[in-house]
């Protein structure tokens, strides 16, 4: 078989992205806007994006930070709290200010302190979301400190997700950044109202990457990378023909000073190489012909949006690791897979 050296796909979207705010937003946004047409923007700012007005103002700041006309479209989300008002949420959805709402179990991850303390507190909100067809985006980990950190996704499926979906069986749910074989199996066994995003880093690293020769804070994210068998299950799911799985980078920049600290922040900044790393994975799995579905078709179909008209071309050719970015007097470090990436986006 001749080797494929070039691939053109419809312009992709990123269905899970942290852009932050201020100087950090300005520094990281071009990496996404140059490649992706749309992105679901995570609302875990400080303070979080809770009200319709918060989302409208944040969207305006993102558009202002865009350099040049890339056509990039931020799709905003609401941060659910115990006090979220169903009327405010549905008004935001109707006005197009909120594409979806994000469930952070309180304390599960970065800036989740205002998250939901008990899923029962938002049943009224979930009922409304089910009624209006508004997707619920889930950080699927329990926060009980007695549950082993590597089991928190599976326990969430059993204790929270399954009972919630028994109650709200038409609710549209995106199980974000799945990291386990159990997560894959759950999504595969669910109806068309359940989708899942898979990050580039969870396709490339397993939990050993956190401890190669010492502690590696830049490989730390939440949900934390799991054993090799889980990584293999994620790779099989992403490259399968199951349309439930789609691209969501969870690119989550933090200052180097906050990563390399006594209590380092969770998050991997992968935006500079995200599409290329996915292409590498699909190439390794002999599935380059399925990259377009994962990156550009399955997500829009789940969200009920048309796929993009534009195209992106990738070429085979070694991709050097990205340099550190300077943000004011600080730095951020892009994800380095530790191995060669053999695909490059052609601009
Ligand atoms: O690693 C992560 N970083 N996981 C999350 O859920 C949040 C994110 C962030 O905002 O930094
Ligand atoms: Zn995230």
Query: Residues 236-253: pLDDT tens digits?
Result: 999 999 999 999 999 999
Q: How does residue 347 score in pLDDT terms, banded at 50, 70 and 90?
A: confident
Say what the pLDDT of residue 108 is.
84
Region of residue 12 (left: phi > 0; alpha: psi -120 to 50; beta: else): beta
Query: Could you tell me if 39 and 336 are in contact, meaning their C-beta atoms sit under 8 angstroms apart?
Result: no
Average pLDDT over residues 21-34: 97
Tokens for 5? 């050296």
Place of tokens 């080797």: 3
Q: What is the pTM of this model?
A: 0.98
Of 180, 291, 177, which is closest to residue 233 (Cα–Cα)? 180
Number of compact structural domains in the chain: 1
C-beta 10 within 6 A of ligand 1 = no
Average pLDDT over residues 194-223: 98
User: Could you give the 3-state DSSP secondary structure of residue 162?
Assistant: helix
**Whether residue 21 has pLDDT greater than 90:** yes
**Whether residue 341 has pLDDT greater than 70:** yes
Distances (CA, A) of 27 to 6, 82, 173: 29, 33, 31
Say what the pLDDT of residue 1 is.
67
Query: Residues 33-47: pLDDT tens digits?
Result: 999 999 999 999 999
Which ligand is located closest to the Cα atom of residue 108? 1
C-beta 48 within 6 A of ligand 1 = no
Query: Residues 128-184: pLDDT tens digits?
Result: 999 999 999 999 999 999 999 999 999 999 999 999 999 999 999 999 999 999 999
1 in a structural domain? no
For 190, other C-beta atoms within 10 Å of its C-beta total 17
Residue identifier of the C-alpha nearest atom 8 of ligand 1: 267
Say what the pLDDT of residue 51 is.
98
Say what the pLDDT of residue 70 is.
85
27 in a structural domain? yes
**Whether residue 110 has pLDDT greater than 90:** no
Tokens for 54? 């918060």
Say what the pLDDT of residue 109 is.
85
Residue identifier of the C-alpha nearest atom 4 of ligand 1: 222
Say what the pLDDT of residue 67 is.
79
For 132, other C-beta atoms within 10 Å of its C-beta total 11
CA distance 322 to 147: 36
Pocket test for ligand 1, best of 17, 18, 77, 179 (most atoms within 8 A of CB): 18
| Domain range enclosing 196 | 6-345
Cβ contacts of 176 within 8 Å, gap of 6 or more: 16, 137, 138, 139, 140, 196, 197, 248, 250
112 in a structural domain? yes
Query: Residues 286-331: pLDDT tens digits?
Result: 999 999 999 999 999 999 999 999 999 999 999 999 999 999 999 9
Say what the pLDDT of residue 73 is.
98
Mean pLDDT of the chain: 97
DSSP β-ladder status, 73-79 and 38-41: parallel
C-beta 109 within 6 A of ligand 1 = yes
Say what the pLDDT of residue 121 is.
98
Pocket test for ligand 1, best of 267, 268, 271, 332 (most atoms within 8 A of CB): 267
CA distance 292 to 342: 18
Return the CATH number at 119. 3.20.20.140
C-beta 267 within 6 A of ligand 1 = yes
C-beta 197 within 6 A of ligand 1 = no
Query: Could you tell me if 32 and 11 are in contact, meaning their C-beta atoms sit under 8 angstroms apart?
Result: no
């Amino acid at each position: 078989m001749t080797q494929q050296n070039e691939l053109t796909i419809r312009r992709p979207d990123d269905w899970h992205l942290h852009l932050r705010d201020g100087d950090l937003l300005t520094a990281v946004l071009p990496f996404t806007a140059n490649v992706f047409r749309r992105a679901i923007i995570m609302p875990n700012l400080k303070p979080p994006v809770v009200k319709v007005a918060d989302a409208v103002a944040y969207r305006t700041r993102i558009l202002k930070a865009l350099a040049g006309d890339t056509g990039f479209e931020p799709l905003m989300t609401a941060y659910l709290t115990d006090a979220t008002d169903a009327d405010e949420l549905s008004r935001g959805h109707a006005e197009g200010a909120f594409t979806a709402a994000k469930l952070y179990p309180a304390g599960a991850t970065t800036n989740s302190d205002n998250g939901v303390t008990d899923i029962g507190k938002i049943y009224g909100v979930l009922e409304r979301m089910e009624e209006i067809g508004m997707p619920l985006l889930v950080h699927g980990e329990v926060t009980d400190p007695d549950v082993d950190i590597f089991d928190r996704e599976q326990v969430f499926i059993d204790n929270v997700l399954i009972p919630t979906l028994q109650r709200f069986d038409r609710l549209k749910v995106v199980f974000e950044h799945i990291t386990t074989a159990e997560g894959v199996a759950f999504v595969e066994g669910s109806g068309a109202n359940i989708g899942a995003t898979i990050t580039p880093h969870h396709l490339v690293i397993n939990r050993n990457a956190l401890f190669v020769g010492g502690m590696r804070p830049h490989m730390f994210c939440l949900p934390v990378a799991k054993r090799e068998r889980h990584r293999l299950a994620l790779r099989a799911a992403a490259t399968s023909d199951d349309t439930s799985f789609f691209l969501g980078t969870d690119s989550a920049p933090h200052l180097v000073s906050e990563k390399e600290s006594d209590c380092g922040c969770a998050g991997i900044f992968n935006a500079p190489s995200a599409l290329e790393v996915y292409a590498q994975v699909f190439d390794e799995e002999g599935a380059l012909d399925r990259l377009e579905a994962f990156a550009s078709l399955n997500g829009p179909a789940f969200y009920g949006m048309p796929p993009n008209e534009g195209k992106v071309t990738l070429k085979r050719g070694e991709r050097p690791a990205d340099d550190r970015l300077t943000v004011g007097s600080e730095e951020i470090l892009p994800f380095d897979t530790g191995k060669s990436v053999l695909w490059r986006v052609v601009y």
